Structure 1
Amino acid sequence: MKRVLLSGAVLLLVTACGEQVATPREPEDASPDVVVSPNTGGPNGAPYVFNRYGDPEGFDDQRPTDYVATEFTTFGRMNWEEWSAETARGHGELSGTWCFEHDCTDDPYEVDIELSDPREVGGTEYFTAYTIRDPAGDMPDEAREAMEQADGGRLDLPPE
């Protein structure tokens, strides 16, 4: 009898320590026909960016906090003030392979970014271009020139 009780207690303890998976709650304002994805911000009709952050295959994204824009340029800690059908504007950190000699991976440049020129690829709209402003003025001219030579302000797009 003691062995049965002990086995039951061990089984209960092991079961209680197992992984618990909670079903995510639907946002209260979501309709049953709308699928809300955590990386898209919802179906608002605005263009996406093709983001390779954490995924070399890339994925559609809107208002990304971290954004691998091209093989050369990365934006981090992004805060977006606007994300509309024609443009997106935000502020964050800029670094890339073009500025290794300026140590921008450890100390990225604080920039304002504007995404523009939406284009349809495979039935989905994507921003295709970016421009930056350096409000603090801490980005050396050589780094800006290297960035412009690396990707010319063009954003990666998914394969057609």
Structure 2
Amino acid sequence: MRRTILTGAALLLAVTACGEQTAAPDVPEGAPEAEQSPREEGGDPQATSSPGDGASPEGQASPEGQASPGGSEEPHVFNRHGDEDGFADVRPTDYVATEFTTFSDMEWSEWSNEVARGEGELLGTWCMDVGCQDDPYDVEVELGDPVEADGTTYFSTYTITDHDDDMSAETRQAMQEADGGRLSVPSSG
């Protein structure tokens, strides 16, 4: 009986371990071993990624094969997530768009030279009275109107193209009054 239990346990362990194997991704030479903010490493303050945001570090190709900063310029957003001075970012998961509006848990379905489209959660100072900090609105958003600032192209506007049914007309009006659909871009100079 003891032998049967040990054999069964060993077989179960082997089968479980085999099912968990995954191939290691091919990492280009010189690529960082883990995604870490260049700010945490004491690196370039204009670097483009923050922990876990899926952004492409400067000089490396983005997941879709488009070049990052320094290559063929794809537009950025000016993100203040974790950095009040802001930094250029591409496809951020968490995006502090303005002093009033924040997008979180973003998944981008398109990021081109003219427009970016994605879905995620929306919250801001304009909806604190209805508790959106604890229960953000599910939205679809479109970024557009690229402008150049300090030699980098940034999206400068956003439009909410779809939202939760519980986002009232008053809340949408408060959002519009807060930042008018304008995104932060760095000031030149």
Normalization by structure 1: what TM-score?
Answer: 0.76
1:148 is matched by which residue type in structure 2? Answer: Q
User: 2:148 matched to 1:120?
Assistant: yes
Unaligned runs of at least 5 residues, structure 2: 1-25, 32-46, 62-67
Q: Which deviates further from its counterpart, 82-91 or 40-49?
A: 40-49
1:87 match:
115
Matching residue within 104, 107, 113 for 1:76 = 104
2:80 match:
52
Task: State the Cα distance separating 1:152 from its structure 2 match.
Answer: 0.1
2:171 match:
143
Unaligned runs of at least 5 residues, structure 1: 1-25
1:28 match:
28
The ranges of structure 1 where at least 4 consecutive aligned residues each deviate by more than 6 angstroms after the TM superposition are none
Equivalent-residue separation in structure 2 for 1:37 and 1:105 (angstroms): 26
Cα deviation code 1:22-81 (max 9, x no counterpart): xxxx932889xxxx9645424152100000000000000000000000000000000000
Normalization by structure 2: what TM-score?
Answer: 0.64
SS at 1:65's partner residue? coil
Equivalent-residue separation in structure 2 for 1:102 and 1:134 (angstroms): 19
**Considering only CA atoms, is the larger Rg found in Structure 1 or Structure 2?**
1
**Higher RCO, 1 vs 2 (CA within 8 Å, ≥6 residues apart):** 1
1:53 is matched by which residue type in structure 2? Answer: H
2:93 match:
65
RMSD: 2.3
2:42 match:
none
Equivalent-residue separation in structure 2 for 1:60 and 1:69 (angstroms): 11
Equivalent-residue separation in structure 1 for 2:30 and 2:79 (angstroms): 25
**How many residues are matched?**
132
Report the CA distance shift for 1:29/1:126 in structure 2 as closer, same or farther (over 3 A): farther
